[in-house]
Amino acid sequence: YVDNHKRKFAEQEFNAIKKRSKWQHGQNQKCTCIVTKKETKNVKRTVLKSVVGTLDLSIRYLLHGETFPGVERVKAPLFCTINRTSQSRYGYIANLCVAKSARRQGIASNMLHFAVESAISDGVEQVYVHVYRDNRAAQELYRKMGFEVVEMANSQLLEERTFLLCFKT
């Protein structure tokens, strides 16, 4: 039953990534899924059992009226425009996950480092991530990697119980 649930969840996430990638391709935006898998010599594993970490990185533009990703400065009109200036372009990290059996081995740090370097190579100067306020381990990881809390945005995120963090290149 558990394997069936995992398979169904993995399929759901895969389809969501495909949908985001297809939608963003038409918007001149980029979505990258970083996958870390465990390699053991002379041991065969299914793909599902070999994946130990994932992270989504997207390169986006702020919507009209946004000052930070997902935080509106003013009430945006029903039909928004995308602000396509270089200052409005940013990286956004989502779905950073590491299997419990693979934690505390530097996998999350390596994926984050790779994601930030990828964003920089795409010309992005800021990379954002949302983190739950009660997820102290994630907050500490992001802090060690150089992310800082965006104070101006977080007063608007109280209801969501999240912090917005930013890495500036």
Angstrom distance (rounded) from CA 62 to CA 81:
9
Q: Which residues contact 53 (CB under 8 A, 6 or more apart)?
A: 34, 35, 36, 96, 97, 98, 99, 102, 107, 108, 111
Q: What are phi and psi for residue 45, nearest 5 degrees?
A: -130, 155
**Catalytic option among 61, 90, 128, 142:** 142
Q: Is residue 142 among the annotated active site residues?
A: yes
| CA dihedral sign of residues 139, 141, 146, 147 | negative
Amino acid at 93: I
The catalytic residues are: 142
